[in-house]
Structure 1
Amino acid sequence: MEAVKLIPAGKDYLWGGDRLKKEFGKQSEKDRIAETWELSCHPDGPSTIAQGKDRGKTLARYIEEQGKGLLGKNCEEFGEFPILIKLIDAKQDLSVQVHPDNAYAAQAEHQQGKTEMWYVVDCEPGAALYYGLTRELTKQEFQKHIEDGTLLQVLNRVEVHPGNVFFIEAGTVHAIGAGILIAEIQQNSNVTYRVYDYNRTDAQGNKRPLHIQKALDVASLKPAPVRKWENHLASCRYFTVDKIETDTAVPIHSDENSFHHLLCLDGNGKIEWRYGRLEFKKGDSLFLPAGLGDCTVSGNFQALHTWVPAPPAYRIGIDLGGTNIAVGIVDENLRIIAKHSVPTQAKRPYPQIIEDMAKAVFSALQKAGISLEQCASVGIGSPGICDSETGTVIYSNNIQWENVPLVAELRKWIPLPCRLSNDANCAALGEVAAGAAKGYQNAVLLTLGTGVGGGVILDGKIFAGCHSAGAELGHTVLIKDGERCTCGRHGCLEAYASASALIRQTKRAAENHPESVIWKLCGGNLEQISGRTPFEAEKQGDETGKQVVEDYISYLSEGVVNFVNIFRPECVILGGGICNEGARLLDPINDHVSRLCFGSDKVEPPKVIRAALGNDAGIIGAAVLK
């Protein structure tokens, strides 16, 4: 592992000058170089390795061959290389432009959005740039200024000096003025919407295209905030930038968390690490892989030092159900700070459902008062068989999906790392992460509802099994040739221990015992029977209700003992409305487990406990998927 020097890709735009050639030693057959892409894996202008056996390879290929571990843990959340670093020589004014945020760029361009920062390396006296608006405008006012050529009148003109820093969040209207040489650190994107270009023409006499409607869609129509950082030139999700200006030795610790980049703006120096050293001069660009270790840079130089910070605290969890799509924004303490839900309307084509899912995410973000850029990832819990490796819902009876590329489709709307798992798995993970089983590493969850869902957590991770299909605990046979299950087999646990099964058993008992209190509780209408009915009848001294409850608990207990014997969890979590019965349900099940699970006289059997998070378990579990 070693630090490598990079050769940038050069760009010849009509507004460029010759300072990058004359002062920074950049090579080009063209008379001018407008930009050099110093650290780039972008296909529109990749930088290449300058020395050694890998000389001439693109940085992207180098990373692919060496492994993405070169980028560090902080970059694992990104689907691609996160940043792009440029030197820009503006001999003439650049166009007035604006960049979209991630959400808009994903939908309209299938790229990342662009937030960037400028460091003014040098400038002519009196040089200025445009940064945001002088006052808040309506969209109609903004459009009118564009159409009648008076846009510059409402742009905030700022005279600049060497060392000035500007942080340009996506949506900020901006333009670099003539006579300014800057270093730009930005998201890895090449999406720009031109708003105004001074009516210039290219070498063929054609005006460059403008992107008025898209600019109207994404522009922030308020004055740009002035942001300053106490310890850095700038910092956001994608990059942190410091300036090194020294004639002494300075340490850089390139640990496993992030790669580092040095862009030398002036002077000469050298970088040394355990197994090597590399000299650099003004204009040189150095890539330091993650895990290089303790490095020392020394000499007499000025440089920008860039790396990728730790991911943000917020995560998005989505619980996809047959009836509703529930979205939650989850903070670093695994608390849901905002929720939003919409009807699934499962009979629609899946792209429409996924579009509504994305819109629900944006609504939840708005309620939380945070942006998509403040979120590290999104996770989805879906009913049915889910392949977490490919992000595909292989089959879901609840929503009638088969081979739906859910993750790929959602990323068209939400350009964040996205994970998928079965909804019961997510609920189990949620209870272990932040609920009744917090602190445990091994747990089994049974959800007692229309069916019996199951999730298994082993060593703190979801037991996914072959094709990431997870465990279908409700479809293990309890009684051979027993009642027919919804899956088509006979005698499954679901046919005896689901809430639906309890209701069916109660109706059957009432029909056989017309003297039962059950008839009174349901008002003589068996369709009014719920899972609470037999428990309430038992409380009123009804023998029929008592027998239904005891039979149901017996069925459920046998299933729990089976799973204890198979997985050896630290606890078994029961969820669903039936668990509201509390001790009447849990005490006899715990007694059953303590007497009948294998080896209970030798080792302490696990406790059967009630789920604590309710419907939030699936959201939290989805949010923390890895």
Structure 2
Amino acid sequence: MKSSFWGDYLSRNYVVGVDLGGTKILTAVADRQGSVLSRVRVATGADLGQDHVINEIVTSVAVALREAGVSTEAVAAAGIGVPGPLDPQTGVVYLAPNLGWQNLSLGEILGSRLKLPVYVDNDANLAALGECVYGAGQSADNLVYITVSTGVGGGLILGGKIYHGFSGGAGEIGHITLAADGPRCGCGNLGCLEALASGTAIAKRAVALVAEGRGLGILSRAGGDRGGVSARVVAAAASNGDGEAILIMRDAGRYLGMAVAGILNLLNPSVVVLGGGVMQSGSILWEAMLETTRRCALSSALQEVSIVRAALGEEAGVMGALALALEKSQGV
């Protein structure tokens, strides 16, 4: 039986979603049909400290509600995505390196400040939920989301719900080991997908080429400045036909395809959604990923799966936060 508390909140018609990043906070207000009424984007200001960031979240929610013409008393719940490991049950953020947070009871703090039930989850998990509910994987009960940008992250929707794993760490797709003697990853391991196919990995490989006196086409694209060599520069050089850049992008695509194939064989999802800046870098990486996936995955796992580009862009996280708030406010 629902308590009077839940009875009160179930009668409210709006929800708030917050996507908290290292550089920006994106906040939105939606009705119970998922229609977004307002969006507010502000700088995170992580270098100004924990209290500043929390104040910015609270302020952004207030502004978003005002722009939507919605009072706090009409809001059922708020969902928030955070970049780091956390406990979705308690709302405690164990570690958010880009924010300088450790063991922060964010759900409790924001719940008290906003006077609302607040639900906290990992940002990649909520991006997966956003794509599942509103984006490229709509209506999929079993979906894997992979984001390839500065790093590689992921989220799992299994049986229509976010899958957190035993201790909340599921979905760390970027740290699947693909080359036992490969380059060192930021996590300390060798040969992680993130160390082989992320934007950072692509740039590092190109910089190493330039340091050896090669990669002249890539260096030219960077205006002759070695410090300007980035994944975007490498992708542009590859699209322009530079052979060394093409090889770098193809290799990154092949490693990504190996990871996707392993995920298909393990989880047999109906949809794999790939997002992030690197996935917008042209067809070379995408085609290499698909070719490797088809070669390495079992035919039974490939038979019905859809491998698609993300549809929501940078709004995937905030849309997932709204979806989480809607789900939780219905008492599910």
TM-score, length-normalised on structure 2?
0.91
What CA distance in whole angstroms lies between the structure 1 residues aligned with 2:91 and 2:160?
21
Residue in 2 that maps onto 1:456: 156
The SS at the match of 2:294 is helix
Residue in 2 that maps onto 1:523: 223
Q: Is residue 252–residue 285 contact of structure 2 (8 Å, CA) maintained in 1?
A: no
- CA distance 1:570–1:564, shift in 2 (3 Å): same
Alignment counterpart, residue 558 of structure 1, candidates 258, 262, 281: 258
The SS at the match of 2:42 is strand
* Cα offset, 1:509, TM superposition: 2.6
Residue in 1 that maps onto 2:208: 508
Alignment counterpart, residue 315 of structure 1, candidates 15, 26, 51: 15
* Cα offset, 1:588, TM superposition: 3.0
The SS at the match of 2:308 is strand
- CA distance 1:331–1:507, shift in 2 (3 Å): farther
Alignment counterpart, residue 617 of structure 1, candidates 300, 316, 327: 316
Matched to 1:394, the amino acid is: Y
- CA distance 1:602–1:351, shift in 2 (3 Å): closer
* Cα offset, 1:475, TM superposition: 1.4
What CA distance in whole angstroms lies between the structure 2 residues aligned with 1:555 and 1:429?
25
Alignment counterpart, residue 305 of structure 2, candidates 574, 587, 606: 606
* Cα offset, 1:603, TM superposition: 5.6
Residue in 1 that maps onto 2:114: 414
Residue in 1 that maps onto 2:180: 480
What CA distance in whole angstroms lies between the structure 2 residues aligned with 1:602 and 1:358?
44
Alignment counterpart, residue 355 of structure 1, candidates 34, 45, 55: 55
The SS at the match of 1:505 is helix
The SS at the match of 1:483 is coil
The SS at the match of 2:227 is helix
RMSD of the alignment, in Å?
2.0
Residue in 2 that maps onto 1:596: 296
The SS at the match of 2:237 is helix
Alignment counterpart, residue 466 of structure 1, candidates 166, 181, 185: 166
* Cα offset, 1:335, TM superposition: 3.7
Residue in 1 that maps onto 2:196: 496
What CA distance in whole angstroms lies between the structure 2 residues aligned with 1:554 and 1:515?
20
Alignment counterpart, residue 92 of structure 2, candidates 388, 392, 417: 392
Counting only pairs closer than 5 Å after superposition, residues 116-135 of structure 1 correspond to structure 2 as none
- CA distance 1:484–1:471, shift in 2 (3 Å): same
Q: Give the unaligned 5+ runs of structure 1.
A: 1-68, 83-237, 239-309
The SS at the match of 1:524 is coil
Q: Is residue 387–residue 469 contact of structure 1 (8 Å, CA) maintained in 2?
A: no
What CA distance in whole angstroms lies between the structure 1 residues aligned with 2:147 and 2:301?
29
Larger C-alpha radius of gyration, 1 or 2? 1
Q: Is residue 330–residue 620 contact of structure 1 (8 Å, CA) maintained in 2?
A: no
* Cα offset, 1:349, TM superposition: 4.2
What CA distance in whole angstroms lies between the structure 2 residues aligned with 1:432 and 1:425?
11
Q: Is residue 318–residue 325 contact of structure 1 (8 Å, CA) maintained in 2?
A: yes
Q: Is residue 597–residue 605 contact of structure 1 (8 Å, CA) maintained in 2?
A: no
- CA distance 1:352–1:606, shift in 2 (3 Å): same
- CA distance 1:311–1:566, shift in 2 (3 Å): farther
The SS at the match of 1:478 is coil
Aligned residues: 325
What CA distance in whole angstroms lies between the structure 2 residues aligned with 1:512 and 1:548?
15
Counting only pairs closer than 5 Å after superposition, residues 341-352 of structure 1 correspond to structure 2 as 341-352=41-52
**1:552-598 superposed Cα distances (whole Å, 9 cap, x missing partner):** 11111111112222221112111111222354333332232222112
Determine if the alignment matches structure 1 residue 547 to structure 2 residue 274.
no
Residue in 2 that maps onto 1:401: 101
Determine if the alignment matches structure 1 residue 373 to structure 2 residue 73.
yes
Q: Is residue 535–residue 549 contact of structure 1 (8 Å, CA) maintained in 2?
A: yes
Matched to 1:618, the amino acid is: G
Q: Is residue 594–residue 605 contact of structure 1 (8 Å, CA) maintained in 2?
A: no
Residue in 2 that maps onto 1:328: 28
Matched to 2:198, the amino acid is: S
Q: Is residue 17–residue 28 contact of structure 2 (8 Å, CA) maintained in 1?
A: yes
**1:330-368 superposed Cα distances (whole Å, 9 cap, x missing partner):** 233434321112222224443332122111100111111
Q: Is residue 386–residue 395 contact of structure 1 (8 Å, CA) maintained in 2?
A: yes
Q: Is residue 586–residue 609 contact of structure 1 (8 Å, CA) maintained in 2?
A: no
The SS at the match of 2:313 is coil
Residue in 2 that maps onto 1:575: 275
Counting only pairs closer than 5 Å after superposition, residues 191-202 of structure 1 correspond to structure 2 as none
The SS at the match of 2:55 is helix
* Cα offset, 1:615, TM superposition: 1.2
What CA distance in whole angstroms lies between the structure 2 residues aligned with 1:477 and 1:560?
13
Residue in 2 that maps onto 1:113: none
Q: Which has the higher contact order (CA 8 A, sep 6+)?
A: 2
Q: Is residue 440–residue 570 contact of structure 1 (8 Å, CA) maintained in 2?
A: yes
Q: Is residue 91–residue 107 contact of structure 2 (8 Å, CA) maintained in 1?
A: yes
**1:365-413 superposed Cα distances (whole Å, 9 cap, x missing partner):** 1111221222221001001111011111011222121110001100122
Q: Is residue 422–residue 469 contact of structure 1 (8 Å, CA) maintained in 2?
A: no
- CA distance 1:624–1:490, shift in 2 (3 Å): same
Matched to 1:457, the amino acid is: I
What CA distance in whole angstroms lies between the structure 1 residues aligned with 2:215 and 2:115?
62
Q: Is residue 46–residue 52 contact of structure 2 (8 Å, CA) maintained in 1?
A: no
Matched to 1:314, the amino acid is: Y
What CA distance in whole angstroms lies between the structure 1 residues aligned with 2:2 and 2:243?
69
The SS at the match of 1:338 is strand
Matched to 1:586, the amino acid is: W
* Cα offset, 1:514, TM superposition: 3.4
